Every structure is written in structure tokens, then in C-alpha cells.
Chain A
Amino acid sequence: MSIEVVQADKVMDARNAFCPGPLMELIKSIKKGEVGKVYEVWSKDAGSIKDIPKWVAKASHEMISIIEENGYTRFQVRKMR
């Protein structure tokens, strides 16, 4: 999945963290953030591919893009509520 790539308002580099590090970084930023802003987390953790989109859907935010880079993945999420 890579539909739209936007400029993120905040980027969290969690490539050095295993599960649940990347998702927790994303959640912490989104909880403290503003509605409408885009948050991007970078992860090398294999579980993030399933866990992050699942959490985003359940939390009713918008999964904008999942971008595969060389050895890691960028997840772009818009805070919706």
C-alpha cells in the first residue's frame, strides 16, 4: 500500500526498537497531537506491518501511506479525532 505520500508534521524514527516500540511512539505522539496533523513513524519491526494499520483503523485515524524503504517502513497517519 502506498497511495499518497504527504509531508508529515512529526516524524518518529523507531528503527532501533523492537515491538511494541514503534507503535507506542506513534500512539504517544498522536495522543498528544492535534487533529488533522500527520504523524510518521519509521520501523524495522516486522510486526509493525500488521499492528500499526490495525491500531490506526481501530482508533479511527487515517492510514495515509505505508512506504517501503531500504530495510525499513514508513507509516504515515493522520490524527482524526
Chain B
Amino acid sequence: MGKYIIVCSEGSFDKLQTAALVASGAIMNDHSVVMFFMHDAVWAMHKSNPSMNLRTNSTYPEVTEKVEKARAEGKLVLWDSILEDLKDIGELEIIVCAQIAEILDLSKDDFLPLVDQVAGVATLTEEAADADHVISF
């Protein structure tokens, strides 16, 4: 069993969805995952934001259209729901960057319940020091 660090700094739907999918692959294969949310991704973790945040950075309108259709038909499990499920089936820790949280005037209670802690980059680098893989989005 290995350990993955996934750093998310972008808040668009496509990046968050991709990060959640990668986390799901790791957890389903019995690896542990620590996700560290920075910058725009911190705002995406705000209680009021998750599934409403469907803005994408896709270059192709067809991709956005088809993803939106799949979502509307209920075929696409959205990133925040994926992360909730992963907490049930494996070892997933979610950390929100303290600096951005402070800039945005947000505390732990302002974030989704799946957030485990608000912490600084020293926590991230400590976690990464003994990780097998570090991936950023």
C-alpha cells in the first residue's frame, strides 16, 4: 500500500473532477491519499460552492456540452460526492491551505464536512516527504 499526495490549486470543475477521479483510483487500489487544496480550490471547498461549481476550462465546447448532459442525466458522480464516498471506503485526508483560508476569511466550519483540517504548507511538505507519489492539478 502506497501513499499519494494530490495538490489541487485550481477551482474549475474539470480540474476538481480529475483530481477526485485520480484519488478514487488510488483509494480503490488500497493506497492512502492526502489531498491539499490551495488557492481557487480552497474556494471550491466552501460549503455553498461544491456541486454548483460547474465551470470548466475545456478548450472544446463539445466536451463541456457532453459532460453537462451526463451530469444532468445523473450519470456523472460529481467530485464532492466522489470524495465523500472515498472517505467511507479508504484512507483519505483532506487539508485546506491555511494561508488562502485566512485571506478568504474562512475557518474550518465554513468548509464541507469532508475537510479534515486547515493547515499550512509545512504540513503538506511533511506529508509529501514520505509519500510515494505527488500529483498536482
- Tell me the nearest residue of chain B to A26, going by C-beta: B28
* Bound CA span A21–B82, Å: 9
Number of interface residues of A (CB under 8 A): 14
Check A23 for interface membership: any CB of B closer than 8 A: yes
Binds A, one of B3-11, B38-46, B71-79: B71-79
**A31 engages B28 (CB within 8 Å):** no
Q: Which of A1-48 contact B (CB under 8 A)?
A: 16-21, 23-24, 27-28, 31
- Chain B residues positioned under 8 Å from A28 (CB to CB): 85, 88-89
Scan B61-74; emit 1 where CB is below 8 A from any A CB, else 0.
00000000010011
- Chain B residues positioned under 8 Å from A17 (CB to CB): 75, 77
Residues of A within 8 A of B (CB): 16-21, 23-24, 27-28, 31, 55, 58-59
